[in-house]
């Protein structure tokens, strides 16, 4: 994990993400690429008007001043930090920056939910997730502890889940996280019999791993909804992290005939890591 991208808007959630990323950077001797995206229109940037050019310079200087304060944190001491300012708020650019710097992961803050309000869905974090080709770690609270030991990878064991599963497996190994695979059988996910689940999981492992050695390590739980099953399972095993897969630009994954990944990202109090299909 040589480089970590941290998109920030100088909010409290951004600070949570920065601190979480700093913890990872300390552990793996990584460089932090801290990215802020201005909301300047193309008309302002490309204008020949002296007034508009001055306005552009003003916003860039303002962002630089905010960076000076924002990055003045004791937990960043000894970490190589590179601040970057982009002119536009085009979220595909985050993925381009990740490619340019050969980053391993993106760490972002998100408010999650407040009452019935779904802040994550349609938010900046969700937009970054849509475009990112590398894992995105979503932090919603002050990261008191960033020593991930047990991670849940919720899976429907379909063929399309093989690629994100393998990416998640490699990432978990790199971070020293024990992976717990879970399949939730529920009325909202096309209920399957035990024999149907066994066949599905066996076929998945044969294609993904080439053998069935992990067959007995996969947990099958039943619940009223898949989301509840995943969150309950994570709580029972004392998970530090939940991993889900995404469909990229189509939005968050609808693995189980519903927006399960969206619900998990919104309602989980644990950090959530996404992997693109």
| Domains in the chain with CATH codes | 1-144 (3.40.50.620), 147-277 (3.40.50.620)
State pLDDT tens for residues 149-161. 999 998 889 898 8
pLDDT of 14 over the 80 cut: yes
* Residue 116, pLDDT score: 39
274/129 Cα distance (integer angstroms): 7
* Residue 17, pLDDT score: 93
Q: Kindly give the interhelix angle for 124-131 and 92-100, rounded to the nearest 10 degrees.
A: 50
pLDDT of 251 over the 80 cut: no
Among residues 147, 144, 173, 152, the alpha carbon closest in space to that of 229 is found at 152
State pLDDT tens for residues 109-149. 886 554 434 444 446 777 788 788 899 998 888 776 677 89
Cβ 113 vs Cβ 120: under 8 Å: yes
* Residue 32, pLDDT score: 97
Per-residue pLDDT averaged across 208-219, rounded? Answer: 92
* Residue 114, pLDDT score: 45
- Phi, psi for 73 (deg, rounded to 5): -120, 140
pLDDT of 254 over the 80 cut: no
97/35 Cα distance (integer angstroms): 9
* Residue 126, pLDDT score: 73
Determine how many CB atoms are found less than 10 A away from the CB of residue 93.
Answer: 18
**Average pLDDT score over the chain:** 82
């Amino acid at each position: 994990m040589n480089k970590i991208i941290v998109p920030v808007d100088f909010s409290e959630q951004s600070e949570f993400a920065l601190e979480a990323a700093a913890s990872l950077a300390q552990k793996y001797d990584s460089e932090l690429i801290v990215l802020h995206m201005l909301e300047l229109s193309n008309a302002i940037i490309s204008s020949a008007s002296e007034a508009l050019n001055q306005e552009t310079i003003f916003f860039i200087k303002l962002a630089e001043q905010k960076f000076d304060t924002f990055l003045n944190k004791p937990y960043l001491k000894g970490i190589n930090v590179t601040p970057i300012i982009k002119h536009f708020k085009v979220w595909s650019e985050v993925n381009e920056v990740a490619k340019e710097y050969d980053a391993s992961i993106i760490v972002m803050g998100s408010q999650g939910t407040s009452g019935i309000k779904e802040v994550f869905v349609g938010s900046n974090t969700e937009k970054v997730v849509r475009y990112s080709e590398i894992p995105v770690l979503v932090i919603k609270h002050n990261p008191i502890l960033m020593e991930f030991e047990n991670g849940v990878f919720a899976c429907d064991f379909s063929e399309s889940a093989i690629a994100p599963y393998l990416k998640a497996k490699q990432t978990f190994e790199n971070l020293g996280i024990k992976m717990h695979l879970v399949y939730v059988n529920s009325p909202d996910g096309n209920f399957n019999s035990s024999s149907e689940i066994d066949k599905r999981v066996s076929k998945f492992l044969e294609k993904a791993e080439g053998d069935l050695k992990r067959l007995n390590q996969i947990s099958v739980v039943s619940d009223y909804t898949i989301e509840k099953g995943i969150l309950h399972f994570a709580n029972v095993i004392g998970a530090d992290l939940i991993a889900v897969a995404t469909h990229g630009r189509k939005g968050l994954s609808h693995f189980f005939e519903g927006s399960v990944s969206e619900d998990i990202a919104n309602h989980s109090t644990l950090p959530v890591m996404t992997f693109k299909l």
